[in-house]
Chain A
Amino acid sequence: QDQLVQSGAEVKKPGSSVKVSCKASGGTFRSYGISWVRQAPGQGLEWMGGILPAFGAANYAEKFQGRVTITSDRSTSTAYMELNSLRSDDTAVYYCARGREGVFDIWGQGTMVTVSS
């Protein structure tokens, strides 16, 4: 059964960077996209961007352009999301999700990122 397993919780200082990983099992990397979605405490879902691992092409939400980098490693079936210049309002749960023809049908368990001095 396909699943996505994310890396563990992170605590970061303002101005630093965080890199979250998302390891896929099954045929996900060959045939699907991986997107990243975050959710601040008590807030809604915010799409950040995504990648097609088969091609390595990423696209980003306008809000995060220049501050986020999404990559993938086909040899380990792992996708990564790196967010730079962290601020306190980047504190959130970060999810990866499998993109199946435009919808997100399988989700990782979420990674809590806390930005605090």
Chain B
Amino acid sequence: IQLTQSPSTLSASVGDRITITCRASQSIDTWMAWYQQKPGRAPKLLISKASRLESGVPSRFSGSGSGPEFTLTISSLQPDDFATYYCQQYNSYFGPGTKVDIK
């Protein structure tokens, strides 16, 4: 199963609402996770089972979708959110990543 993400880069400002899309080459039900990674750091799990927010993750993050298409939304971008985001099929491959940088 291949995962694609769009966009590959997203330039945004603090306070913006942003959405990242991940598409699987075939249906994976809701077996999708999202991670945030900052330079020089290990990835951090944000969302599991497509929409389940991990403990301690701010509520401005949300996930949705099933089957082949999923989205990660940040409702109001904060300075700490500028990072690269990856989708992942459970126990398996990652998408290519979306870098969120400052406009």
Q: Which residues of A contact B67 (CB under 8 A)?
A: none
Chain B interface size, as a band, is 20 to 34
Within 8 A of B (CB), among A82-113: 95, 97, 99, 101-105, 107-110
Instruction: Tell me the interface secondary structure of chain B in the complex.
Output: loop
Query: Are B54 and A105 in contact (CB-based, < 8 A)?
Result: yes
Bound complex: CA of A20 vs CA of B30, how far in Å? 32
**In the complex the two chains form, is A110's CB within 8 Å of B90's CB?**
no
User: Which of chain B's residues have a CB closer than 8 A to the CB of A46?
Assistant: 94
Contact residues, A20-53 vs B (CB, 8 A) = 33, 35, 37, 44-47, 50
- Tell me the chain A residues, 61-84 only, with Cβ under 8 Å from chain B: 61
Q: Would B43 and A102 count as touching, CB distance under 8 A?
A: no
CA distance A67 to B95 in the complex (A): 23
Q: For B42, give its contact among A47, A95, A101 (CB under 8 Å).
A: A95
Total of A-B residue pairs, C-beta within 8 Å: 54
Question: Which residues of chain B (42-82) have a CB below 8 Å from chain A?
Answer: 42-45, 48, 54
Contact, CB under 8 Å: A104 / B93: no
Who on chain A is nearest to B95 by CB? A44
Min Cβ gap B26→A in Å is 16
Q: Chain B residues with Cβ under 8 A from A61's Cβ?
A: 92-93
Contacts beyond the supplied A45-B94, A45-B97, A102-B90: 17 A-B pairs with Cβ under 8 Å: A33-B91, A35-B91, A44-B94, A44-B96, A47-B92, A61-B93, A95-B42, A101-B48, A102-B91, A103-B48, A103-B90, A104-B33, A104-B35, A104-B45, A105-B54, A107-B42, A108-B42
Task: Please name the 9 residue pairs, one residue from A and one from B, whose CB atoms are nearest each other, closest first.
Answer: A102-B90, A107-B42, A45-B94, A103-B33, A44-B97, A103-B48, A102-B91, A105-B45, A44-B96
8 chain-A/chain-B pairs, Cβ below 8 angstroms? A33-B91, A44-B96, A95-B42, A97-B42, A101-B48, A101-B90, A102-B33, A107-B43
A residues neighboring B (CB under 8 Å): 33, 35, 37, 44-47, 50, 61, 95, 97, 99, 101-105, 107-110
